[in-house]
């Protein structure tokens, strides 16, 4: 549990110089609830909390943190036996995990 929180904290601080993100008063409790749900590996409920936060977001920092938490959920909730595809910069790539036979 502490490990997941540490990973989430690291995820939120990766990507350049450290900068404080300040989320709005309405979004903060929703993000805290989502973080608890993520630690419990209840990704569907955490995503629902992020959707609620999305509906009341007020600042760019709100949007930033919500998106980072969505990316964290996406990366940690993957089934390692199934293929995973990613579309970045207009290009889709798949890793082929769990694939049987020839790929189309």
Q: DSSP states of 48-85 as a string? A: HHHHHHHHH--SHHHHHHHHHHHHHHHHHS--TTS--E
3-state class (DSSP) for residue 86: strand
pLDDT of 14 above 90: no
Task: For the full predicted model, state whether its pTM sits above 0.75.
Answer: no
The predicted pLDDT at position 98 comes to 47
Cα distances from 1 to residues 7, 17, 39, 57, in angstroms, run 10, 27, 6, 27
The predicted pLDDT at position 74 comes to 86
Q: How far apart are CA 6 and CA 21, in angstroms?
A: 17
Domain residue ranges of the chain, discontinuous segments joined by +:
2-14+22-76
Q: What is the pLDDT of residues 22-74, one digit of tens each?
A: 889 999 999 999 999 999 999 999 999 999 999 999 999 999 999 999 999 98
The predicted pLDDT at position 21 comes to 82
Whether residue 95 contacts residue 84, with contact meaning beta carbons closer than 8 Å, is answered with yes
The predicted pLDDT at position 62 comes to 94
């Amino acid at each position: 549990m502490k490990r997941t929180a540490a990973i989430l904290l690291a995820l939120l601080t990766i990507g350049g110089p450290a900068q404080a993100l300040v989320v709005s008063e309405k979004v903060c409790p929703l993000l805290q609830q989502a973080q608890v749900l993520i630690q419990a590996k209840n990704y569907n409920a955490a995503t629902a909390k992020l959707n609620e936060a999305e509906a009341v977001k007020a600042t760019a920092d709100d949007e930033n943190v919500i998106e980072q938490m969505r990316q964290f959920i996406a990366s940690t909730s993957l089934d390692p036996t199934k293929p995973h595809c990613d579309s970045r910069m207009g290009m889709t790539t798949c890793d082929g995990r769990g694939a049987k036979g020839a790929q189309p």
